[in-house]
Amino acid sequence: MQADRFGVLRFIQPGLKVPTNNDPKRNQLLAALPEAEFQRWLPHLESVDWALGKVVYESGGGLSHVFFPTTAIVSLLHVMEDGDSAEIAVVGHEGIVGVFLFMGGATTPSRAVVQSAGKGIRLKADFLLREFNKIGPVMHLLLRYTQALITQMSQTAVCNRHHTLDQQLCRWLLLSLDRLASSDLVMTQELIANMLGVRREGVTEAAGHLSDAGLISYRRGRIKVLDRPGLEKRSCECYRVVKDEYDKLLPVGEAV
Amino acid sequence: MQADRFGVLRFIQPGLKVPTNNDPKRNQLLAALPEAEFQRWLPHLESVDWALGKVVYESGGGLSHVFFPTTAIVSLLHVMEDGDSAEIAVVGHEGIVGVFLFMGGATTPSRAVVQSAGKGIRLKADFLLREFNKIGPVMHLLLRYTQALITQMSQTAVCNRHHTLDQQLCRWLLLSLDRLASSDLVMTQELIANMLGVRREGVTEAAGHLSDAGLISYRRGRIKVLDRPGLEKRSCECYRVVKDEYDKLLPVGEAV
DNA sequence: TGGGTGGTGTACGCTGCCGGACAGAGAGAG
DNA sequence: CTCTCTCTGTCCGGCAGCGTACACCACCCA
């Protein structure tokens, strides 16, 4: 798998605008493209490097590119007039940021923020739109992904309503973990609180519980997950439902 | 407008499977189809009549038809393992029930329930899919609607997190009102509680507040809205944000 | 007309999260 | 090495909504 990826990288090197440490195929949507499609896209892919907290797009703003995270994680936040916010979905290497573009909305009332620093691939909006509008695997792939995103959003809505902060924190950690290579999250409690739409103190307390139970260790903006199965057990069902839906709609390794 | 609608009805009568009291063009998506498209669809449209509480599709189940409500209102509920549920969106004459079908999901982890008895139009799933997969106005119309639905879902998620039951009840009443001809809702507090994902007693209390303020009158499963502007004022911003987004994405009277 | 039933109002203690305030503890910079 | 800034832990009262229990009332139907 590693070897394969590097093999591909060597092959595409000539026309590649992205550095070798940011393999586009780390993004599962790009990897799921038919090879011919991928080769055509390749010259148009550009590498981007995101710092923690970078705003990818702003609520109400337009979009010149769409983004395929490779190692970064991006949160979709819904922001309200008084500044209160809540995360409605999270996008990592399995997805694309800027779905509303091909859904036909010029803008969206949400904000995309980099939740975990890392790299991604960007692609010009009009290029993607043209590709989308040819009926074919690209469109169906993107729509299936959007359906998975919708599931995540509705699950989040229900979770906000019914589950305790402890459970939600577990869910959130697991979703982030799935999108990272390591089990270390660089993330202050303040940030997590913003994502979950709760007070920072609440996160301190919930994290304290998880720490006491030996599931995580926490030190100054750095969370280490010690017992992943334990987290899953303590999480509400929401994590599993969302994960299953993603797995069903976007089988890893599928060739479309 | 009325005359126009009846004119159309007379014209299409020969091939029409739907009774004259269930004009397909009451549904804004059907009305927004190009006329040629609409005429082709017409022979395939069938009238349905829904009782309160009818389950249109079940969580995890497939779908043989999609539905275009005309006078009915359908709630999309996300149901959890323990039976707890919450409404994530509501669909009336502005929309379509069964979006996941053309999004590429065979099933969806939510349930669609008739929240207000009335009529709708159904259309065979495979017919709609074929129409969707021709690149053109149908696809773009349906995708734009789906984008509006996504906005409603994320707004619901945030609303669940941050707003009081009083505010949410106002939002919910307004969303329902927009999808009804009259200002009378036939709806028990028990039902509303299920939709909002709260206790029945909570709804009693919130409805009491609104009633004390003279905004609604309530008697045994029948709500009458007395002061709509008052409701809007008391509601959180969520109602307006969602409404604006629908208006933007699906202008009434547009010819696509 | 008089039960029966389903919908509504009310009360009680409990819990989870909010609001604010403040103390301690790393980590980086000079 | 110390200073400062940011992040984390803890405490308080307050309140919204939960769970439970029960009484009442409107409407339907026998």
Decide: residue B23, CB within 10 A, 0-12 exposed, 13-18 middle, 19+ buried. Answer: buried
Bases on strand C under 7 Å from any protein CB: 6-11, 16-21, 26-27
pLDDT higher at A14 or B112:
B112
Least Cα separation, residue B196 to chain A (angstroms): 9
User: Could you tell me which chain B residue has the CA closest to the CA of A101?
Assistant: B147
pLDDT at A124 over 90: yes
Q: Provide residues 123-182 of A with CB closer than 7 Å to any strand C atom.
A: 164-166
Among B86, B105, B245, whose Cβ lies nearest the Cβ of A158?
B86
Among B103, B134, B154, whose Cβ lies nearest the Cβ of A146?
B103
pLDDT at B19: 66
B202 CA, C9 C1': separation in Å? 11
DSSP string, A155-197: HHHHHHHH--HHHHHHHHHHHHHHT-SSSEEE--HHHHHHHHT
pLDDT at A252: 67
Residue nearest to nucleotide C27 (CA to C1'): A220
pLDDT at A159: 96
pLDDT in tens, A207-225: 999 999 999 998 888 999 9
User: Does the beta-carbon distance from A158 to B134 stay under 8 Å?
Assistant: no
Band of residue B156 on the pLDDT scale cut at 50, 70, 90:
very high
Asked whether residue B188, judged by its CB, lies under 7 Å from any atom of the DNA or RNA strand C, the reply is yes
List beta partners, residue B185.
B223
User: Could you tell me which chain A residue has the CA closest to the CA of B86?
Assistant: A158
pLDDT at B247 over 90: yes
Query: Model-level pTM greater than 0.85?
Result: yes
Query: B96: closest CA among B62, B77, B130, B70?
Result: B70
Question: Which tokens go with B144?
Answer: 């734009």
pLDDT at B250: 85
pLDDT at A20: 66
B177 CA, D13 C1': separation in Å? 40
